[in-house]
Each structure stands twice: as structure tokens, then as C-alpha cells.
Amino acid sequence: MNYVRLNNGKNIPVFGYGVYCIPKDECEKCVLEALKVGYRHIDAAQIYQNEEEVGNAISKCGIPREELFITSKIWVCNYGYKKAKESIDRSLKRLKTDYIDLMLIHRPYANYKGAWKALEEGVKEGKIRSIGLSNFNVKETESILAMATIKPVVNQIECHPYGQQKEMRAYLKEKDIAVEAWFPIGHGDKQLLTDPVLSEIAQKYGKTVAQVILRWHVQVENITFPKSVKPERIKENFDIFDFELSQDDMAKIEALDKGKYCPTPPKWLDTIISKFKRA
Ligand SMILES: NC(=O)c1ccc[n+]([C@@H]2O[C@H](COP(=O)([O-])OP(=O)(O)OC[C@H]3O[C@@H](n4cnc5c(N)ncnc54)[C@H](OP(=O)(O)O)[C@@H]3O)[C@@H](O)[C@H]2O)c1
């Protein structure tokens, strides 16, 4: 496993397992399967409604806690200092752990600055090791940098070969904030997974298109965590550390960028958060 060194000196496994959209009744089994395959980094969130099941897997897996890297994210309705602080304690309880390795502000809405203060306090109290952002644009990131006493270590953003976030990634690199890529294989985008350029590269290395995309993420140092509920895909997605894409193939993938992103915010989210104002 490759690691990325964060701006606070801590290491994060560059590759992990995401649990968005995994139903409650499948989540414990899926996380245990991923841990059996070798994943050590789990990307969770309060809004995914399955922290409890991730916690069950953590407590049952038999892997020492210090070998695991657990991320969660504070959801919009828990923003404001006091509510965010209480929600951190609830996440710890559900995850059945004394500390969360990385906790993020999930989206920049409403009183996210109050939530940031609660995260900083969580670090000082030893409940959280590292804190960061998710779905923040440049202006919103600057608003946190202007008030932060602890610098965010990551910004988790949508990123895949059809939407590579080149400007945002360059900005984050300049600020020494690591990039985390959500929708790493485009949320299963069929067009992306059958792209002729990617298919040709995959054939050349004897790998699948998904593996080529995930390897591209690792080589550009995007920390990422594909989701699958299927044991064979959980294994397939992890099997990317025995080959390396050539510079030529990396350039071909970089040329596939077409600025294709899901709407911000996506429709389903819009209805939930319409009562909160984007900062
Ligand atoms: N911060 C944010 O706002 C945010 C937003 C979205 C996601 N995330 C994080 O990013 C993680 C990944 O995002 P995601 O799950 O939405 O998208 P994704 O990992 O890009 O794609 C998952 C989809 O692809 C399918 N899939 C997985 N492996 C495959 C393979 N090898 N070949 C073909 N299809 C495959 C899965 O289906 P099966 O399950 O049926 O295999 C699922 O439908 C999430 O779990 C979450 O942790 C964060």
C-alpha cells in the first residue's frame, strides 16, 4: 500500500473503500470483506447512515485499530459549533472507536465555520487526528484558511478521468492540501468504463478499465476509495499495485478530461439541503 504524507506529518493510505450508498444491512459484511482483501482505509460519513455498521466491522475484524484509517464527515444539519461537537461524539460512539483518523466538513453550507471550530477542538481533545474539507471551491477553502488554527489536510472533491479538476488540484497542491477523489470511477459511469482509449490501455496491461482508472488516481496521488458491494469487484479494485502506467498512457488519460461532473449540488441533495444557504 502506498501512503500520502499529509501537511500535519500523518500518513494516509492512498487507497481505501468508500461506503456511500451501501445499505445498512449489507455494510458490515462489505467492510469486513474489504478488510479481508487488504483495504485499511474506510471513507464513511454521517449522512451515509451506516457509521454504526462500519463500527461493527471495525470492532469485529481483529485488525489493530492503529492499522486502520477511518474517515467520517460532519453533515450539514449538524453544523454550528455546538451541534457539530455533539455530532462528533455520536460518530465516535457509532464507529466504536476512541478516535477518528480524519473528519471532514461534508459540504460548505450554513454555519460550516462553527463546525470547523468544533473539529479543531476535536483534534485538541484527542478525538480526531486530522481534519479537512469536502466539496469546497477555492473561495470557500480560502474562507477556512483565513480562520483556521489547524490547516485542513485534504479537500475531497469529485474527480475521475472525465472530470479531472485540474485547476482545483493545482490550487490544492500549491496550498499543500491533499486531494481526495470521490466518484473515482465516475459512480460506475458506463461510458467511462467502456471508453475506447481506456479499454486499449487496459488490454495492454491485462487489467480492467476500472483498474486502469484507479491506478491513474494512485499515480497522480489522488487519495481515493471506490465503492462496490460485490466481493469480486472489491478484490479487483484493490488489485492495482502490481503494475505501473507509462508516462505515455498517463498523458492519454489526462487528455480524456471533458469537465464532466455531476450537478452541484446533485438533485437528490438539493431537496434535502434547500433550507440551508450555500456559503
Ligand atoms: N464527499 C462527497 O461529497 C462524496 C460524494 C460521493 C462519494 N463520496 C465517497 O466516494 C466513494 C466512491 O464514490 P461512489 O461510490 O459514489 O462512486 P464510484 O466508487 O466511482 O463507483 C461506484 C459504482 O461503480 C460500481 N463499481 C465498483 N467497482 C466496479 C468495477 N470494478 N467495475 C465496474 N463497476 C464497478 C459500483 O457498483 P457495485 O457496488 O454494484 O459493484 C457502484 O455502482 C463513496 O463511497 C464515498 O466514500 C464522497
What string of H, E and C letters represents the secondary structure of 126-186? CCEEEEEEECCCHHHHHHHHHHCCCCCCEEEEECECCECCHHHHHHHHHCCCEEEEECCCC
Per-residue confidence at 277, pLDDT binned at 50, 70, 90? Answer: low
Number of domains composing the chain? 1
> What is the domain-level CATH number for residue 31?
3.20.20.100
Per-residue confidence at 271, pLDDT binned at 50, 70, 90? Answer: low
Average pLDDT, the chain: 95
For residues 161 and 251, give the distance between their C-alpha atoms in angstroms, rounded to a whole number: 11
279 domain-assigned: no
Please give the residue range of the domain that contains residue 125.
3-273
Q: 186-195, 199-208, 255-264: which has the minimum mean pLDDT?
A: 255-264
- The yes-or-no answer on residue 261 being catalytic is no
49 domain-assigned: yes
Give the closest residue (by CA) to ligand 1 atom 18.
187
114 domain-assigned: yes
For residues 109 and 113, give the distance between their C-alpha atoms in angstroms, rounded to a whole number: 9
- Give backbone dihedrals phi and psi of 73, rounded to 5 degrees, phi first: -140, 135
**pLDDT higher than 90, residue 60:** yes
278 domain-assigned: no
Threshold 0.75, pTM exceeds: yes
154 domain-assigned: yes
Give the closest residue (by CA) to ligand 1 atom 17.
187
Query: Residue 229: its pLDDT value, please?
Result: 98
84 domain-assigned: yes
Contact 185, 226 (CB under 8 A): yes
pLDDT for 130-180, tens place per residue?
999 999 999 999 999 999 999 999 999 999 999 999 999 999 999 999 999
For residues 253 and 53, give the distance between their C-alpha atoms in angstroms, rounded to a whole number: 36
Q: Which atom of ligand 1 is nearest to the CA of 230?
A: 41
